[in-house]
Amino acid sequence: MSHLFGHDQPLSVKDNGFNPRSFVGSFDPRVRVVAAGLFAVMVVALQQIEFALIAFAIALGTMFLTDLPLRLTLKRMAAMDGFIIVMLVMLPFTTPGTPMFSMFGADASKEGLLHAVLIGIRANAVVLMMLSLLSGLTPVTLGHTLYRLRCPAALVHLMMFTVRYISVLHDEYHRLRMAMKLRGFKARNTIHTYRSFGYLFGMLLVRSLERAERVLEAMKLRGFSGHFPMIDHLVFRRRDAALGAGFVVLIVLLVLMDRVYVFTY
């Protein structure tokens, strides 16, 4: 069977994932993706707040080696923190340990608070490193990179189609909602409202299936045979190997120091 992303003709520097304007962006996208994944796995394994802070400092330093806008990056991290803040608030009250204070009859433990802080630091370190190392990679470039790393072709296809058509589904949803509003619909806590939203999502699903069939037919008419031809050319250089090796040594050393600290104290 033909390769998923066929030919190896070079594209421009911008198209194949390299960004000469930033230090991190000048490295091979494959090294950056692998480094981001290894960093996430290693940081999750950390058990001490001190070493989690070191990992966060490493991620912060990496961010300054990219062209990421600081304000936008902080907004993205704040959006992530919004999802886990409830869990972090509940941990002191659900983890047994030394009581610190009581609220509404529930005791907050010191161990739970420290665990919540550790999770928060680790999560922010991972997200910040992901944003830093993957900055400048378009969805298409990321898909090509994952295929070069021998990821399953079906998953790469799914990711690329999802990124391509999620905005189309979003626009379709807004058109249906506008049609409901033009007919005088107002959301209330009633059975009619729940039934109307059920019809809305059902119609969105039906239209999504119809659009998927039309897209598939259009792709077949253009010669689609189950794979996307790839015309970029990723070159693995010595500096990429040096970055990957140095990154692995750094995070492995960090985890070993964390384990030694745990066993010692």
Residue 219 has pLDDT above 80, yes or no: yes
Q: Token pair of 45, please? A: 């394994």
Residue 142 contacts residue 156 (beta carbons within 8 Å): no
Torsion of CA 109, 112, 118, 121, to 10 degrees: -90
Provide the residue count of the chain. Answer: 265
* Helical axes 49-63 vs 29-44, angle rounded to 10°: 160
User: Between residues 236 and 130, which one has the greater pLDDT?
Assistant: 130
HSE toward the beta carbon, residue 129, CA cutoff 13 A:
28
| Chain mean pLDDT for the chain | 80
Where residue 8 falls among pLDDT bands split at 50, 70, 90? very low
pLDDT of residue 1: 38
C-alpha R_g of the chain: 24
| pTM, entire model | 0.71
List, for residues 75-116, the tens digit of each pLDDT value.
Answer: 888 887 887 787 778 888 877 877 777 777 777 787 888 888
Domain boundaries, the chain: 18-137+235-265, 152-233
